[in-house]
Structure 1
């Protein structure tokens, strides 16, 4: 059974409408148009209601024919669907070869993507608010310090990117700040160079070059000069892909703060882990972190740091509360005391609030500050948050169904009107096949995959929107050839076939067909984009 076509590929509704293969020839398209025009041409009907139905569907057939019979329009449709035809993708008159048309379409598509990309800058920023409970209890303010960082990136051209940023920190009555500008030039597909300048207490200018030296390895070299004392720092870093999910890196720095560090990162769908060891002339340290994703929305983490200036352990977790927002709470214990850290991440913005609970290490206090919030969270999650999110998701699902119901109802009515005009010819073909003991479609249902699989229990299909299935027996009998065969082409969504519609947008769909041939009963179930060719002995029941 064929797999469903990817969602990003253009739909093939026009091919389905004319019952054509995507590689149909011009002659096939003309024959299909004449065939459908004989059924749906308005002049064939005297009754005004039937004439109106025929006019509506004949217009669809004529529009499909005009697009597929025009070589350039067909090229655009095959690559980008109807959106490509309606979004201003126009080709010059000098293009004649399919390769030239495709190249021009790709150029236009890239230009539109670049225009969209360049029209947006990418801002990012962080706000840190350091709070201290011991300081507050001693009569001082609860605010221990604040810090802010901000950065905005903008694409100057296809190869050039500029970023501008700054930071400001205040602790007690002292403060500091700096401004940074970076220009990045993509020299080639494997090499780039960056120029950097920082103004503040430590004014620095620097340059950094990066090059991919093999399929799995990248090297970076940098030079930074301090404008205050003229000191120079040299840095070299090497990164290598160790496996499908793991990366290792080594960095060497020579200068006022010489040192070497070795790091490792691993990430897959369920977890990520990092580790680093670094040492230099006046410091040493090691750190590790592990994050486990419990679901698409929640995760837990543990981390530890040890070195000449730090000794701490942290444990915590986070949850995605919306498409762009994530909240985290982290418990930290170390030589500087016991603290909580609250984080709110939204798009590129962060709000981080560390709260120092105690500067002293007390076992009972440490256990309480870890267990009490954890217990409260699990109680809230079980009895408040989880029921709330379930109700919200259910409400959103109902709202989605309600918003689509009018659209689905209109599509079902249009499909029924199209079937009404097919009915006479369909019944005639059906009777002809019955007389010769040929191919007769006895039942055909199209719609929600889960409902279709229980098709044996469906005795009558309701026209109500909530049924999520459509009876398509009439159009399939119409499509049976005089030789007693029926073929639905692969890669074409079946909702575009004349007399069909999409009865459940966004849901996976299947087609169930029960038929008789030579007095035998057959049954087949196919996916939405799969090919169907009947009769076949393999379908016998």
Structure 2
């Protein structure tokens, strides 16, 4: 379960939304917004002592937003880190630097150093668990001929025999020593058909620069081993990595070597030439092209024990966070067709399945769950021959299970997590939410005079007159219009919306609308809408937009036939 820190849950001021200007606003846009709000909230505009006190509070907020955004240095800090950046550390940087570009560059450097410090504090654990299941008895049951008649009459014997044929476990942890030195400790265990083994590895990596590193690794398990690896960027387009290994066995020392030369062909394509020598030797040529929506992989390997050709294609469905894969592999071992999909099911979890049809391997189903740095893999051998039934079930069953698990477990879990997060945010911001509500009601009270003047002017010239505006969590019956919507947790914002009208036009930019003067968040953590009914040239209009949508009035598309 993932929780944000209390610091990340605290609400911050959005000066752009408060002034109703875009983030790329010019100095003139900022000045105009400041003058417009000053005419409403300046204390000298109000005689009543109570209103004057409320106006002074709002005017100070207007002045603060103006001071931050009108100065290029403070605006650069605010754009980079928000209001937290305007504290002591930010002002120290302003004193040391001269331009907004320098401020942003230094903040980026500080962010990298902070990330590096956090990385040092973590052990970066990662692990893999692979459980291989033999389920061939489902589709290829085995009977001895002389017992076949007895099996036919034995119900228990007709139950398919499904067994775990092998298991593999691996785990590793990192121990950062310095900014350039890291020690890694890892271990592996495996068992297959009643026999097993394991090993332990310890490595030390030293980074010379962003262009090169070396790594020394010692292993113990199936005899001790010592390896040396390295990486080097040769030019802008070429880089190399390789290494050598010495494995000590009762039969003697077994040397091995691996070397890869890579070339950046273009922006999206990389080519690899790899040689692996030792007990098993192979030469591989590989080209990978990776774009925003597609990934291609073409490989040719010549060597022992196998030679093969591989062609793989992946389609990335970015909007659905889904990847579809298909691969064809043929060589001295036979041929394989593999297809499958990978779906992001939560912020830190991916679920994938693939169907593998091969000769002579048969039909296999592989399910993999990746949760943060942990990977769980379940290869299931369904049939030793390619038959329609196992192929169909291997394809259909994972899809049905995914839908059932998603609807029955994942979505309810995510809803609960979201509700817990929202509740935690409400608790952390309880006082601030009350303060924002009080501030919004005070702002609307201060707007009354401006509201009456603008509304009368627009009515006299048959301009833009706001009849009703509500903001918050709105549930509306699509068959109803006007006042017939069902509303819950909403705020009447007719007054502040009318005050944004100028020369029979109104524009709200794409920011959080709860930051606008006279607004607050009436449904914290929920999806919010802004619903407006207005007249233009004495014709009724109506529009509903989401919290993040920009808005421009009037528009012919908003016109209704209700009188």
**Superposition TM-score, scaled by structure 1 size:** 0.70
Alignment of 1:79 onto 2:80: yes
Relative to structure 1, is the Cα distance of residues 25 and 117 closer, same or farther in structure 2, using a 3 angstrom cutoff? farther
Alignment of 1:296 onto 2:313: no
Aligned-residue offset at 1:121: 3.5
Relative to structure 1, is the Cα distance of residues 307 and 506 closer, same or farther in structure 2, using a 3 angstrom cutoff? same
Alignment of 1:219 onto 2:239: yes
Relative to structure 1, is the Cα distance of residues 177 and 73 closer, same or farther in structure 2, using a 3 angstrom cutoff? same
Alpha-carbon RMSD: 5.5
Aligned-residue offset at 1:278: 0.8
Aligned-residue offset at 1:422: 0.9
Aligned-residue offset at 1:352: 2.7
Relative to structure 1, is the Cα distance of residues 397 and 55 closer, same or farther in structure 2, using a 3 angstrom cutoff? farther
Partner residue in 2 for 1:352: 377
Aligned-residue offset at 1:261: 0.7
Alignment deviations for residues 352-383 of structure 1 (CA, whole Å, 9 cap, x no partner)? 3444556xx456xx44433345454555567x
Partner residue in 1 for 2:42: 38
Aligned-residue offset at 1:181: 1.2
CA contact (8 A) 1:18 1:36 kept: no
- For structure 1, the residue ranges without an aligned partner over 5 or more in a row are 1-9
Aligned-residue offset at 1:116: 3.3
Relative to structure 1, is the Cα distance of residues 104 and 279 closer, same or farther in structure 2, using a 3 angstrom cutoff? closer
CA contact (8 A) 1:39 1:421 kept: no
Kindly report which structure 2 residues correspond to 1:114-513, keeping only aligned pairs within 5 A, or say none: 114-132=116-134, 142-153=163-174, 156=177, 159-171=180-192, 172-173=194-195, 175-185=197-207, 187-188=209-210, 191-200=211-220, 201=223, 203-211=225-233, 213-214=235-236, 217-226=237-246, 228=248, 233-242=256-265, 245-253=268-276, 257-267=280-290, 272-280=295-303, 283-291=306-314, 296=320, 301-309=325-333, 312-317=336-341, 320-323=344-347, 324-326=349-351, 328=353, 330-331=355-356, 333-335=358-360, 339-356=364-381, 361=384, 366-377=387-398, 384-385=404-405, 388=408, 392=412, 415-431=440-456, 437=461, 441-443=465-467, 445=469, 459-460=482-483, 464-465=487-488, 472-478=493-499, 494-501=513-520
CA contact (8 A) 1:192 1:209 kept: yes
Partner residue in 1 for 2:152: none
Instruction: Name the CA distance, whole Å, in 1 between partners of 2:407 and 2:112.
Output: 46
CA contact (8 A) 1:330 1:342 kept: no
Alignment deviations for residues 215-234 of structure 1 (CA, whole Å, 9 cap, x no partner)? xx332142414263666655
Alignment deviations for residues 217-272 of structure 1 (CA, whole Å, 9 cap, x no partner)? 33214241426366665544233455665443222345554431112334456654
Relative to structure 1, is the Cα distance of residues 22 and 498 closer, same or farther in structure 2, using a 3 angstrom cutoff? farther
Aligned-residue offset at 1:124: 1.6
SS of 2:518's partner is coil
Relative to structure 1, is the Cα distance of residues 23 and 511 closer, same or farther in structure 2, using a 3 angstrom cutoff? farther
Partner residue in 1 for 2:3: none
- For structure 2, the residue ranges without an aligned partner over 5 or more in a row are 1-10, 144-156
**Superposition TM-score, scaled by structure 2 size:** 0.68
CA contact (8 A) 1:212 1:218 kept: yes
Aligned-residue offset at 1:423: 0.8
Instruction: Name the CA distance, whole Å, in 2 between partners of 1:102 and 1:391.
Output: 40
Relative to structure 1, is the Cα distance of residues 83 and 130 closer, same or farther in structure 2, using a 3 angstrom cutoff? same
Instruction: Name the CA distance, whole Å, in 2 between partners of 1:97 and 1:508.
Output: 41
Relative to structure 1, is the Cα distance of residues 272 and 462 closer, same or farther in structure 2, using a 3 angstrom cutoff? same
SS of 1:129's partner is strand
Instruction: Name the CA distance, whole Å, in 1 between partners of 2:20 and 2:389.
Output: 70
Aligned-residue offset at 1:179: 1.2
Kindly report which structure 2 residues correspond to 1:44-83, keeping only aligned pairs within 5 A, or say none: 44-45=47-48, 57=58, 60-61=61-62, 64=65, 73-83=74-84
Aligned-residue offset at 1:427: 0.9
Aligned-residue offset at 1:299: 5.5
SS of 1:91's partner is helix
Instruction: Name the CA distance, whole Å, in 2 between partners of 1:176 and 1:287.
Output: 31
Alignment of 1:91 onto 2:92: yes
Partner residue in 1 for 2:113: 111
SS of 2:92's partner is coil
Matched pairs, number:
511
SS of 2:203's partner is strand
Aligned-residue offset at 1:284: 2.1
Aligned-residue offset at 1:107: 3.9
Instruction: Name the CA distance, whole Å, in 1 between partners of 2:306 and 2:496.
Output: 78
Q: Relative contact order (alpha carbons < 8 A, sep ≥ 6): 1 or 2 greater? A: 1
CA contact (8 A) 1:160 1:186 kept: no
Aligned-residue offset at 1:176: 4.3
Relative to structure 1, is the Cα distance of residues 221 and 250 closer, same or farther in structure 2, using a 3 angstrom cutoff? same
Instruction: Name the CA distance, whole Å, in 2 between partners of 1:448 and 1:244.
Output: 45
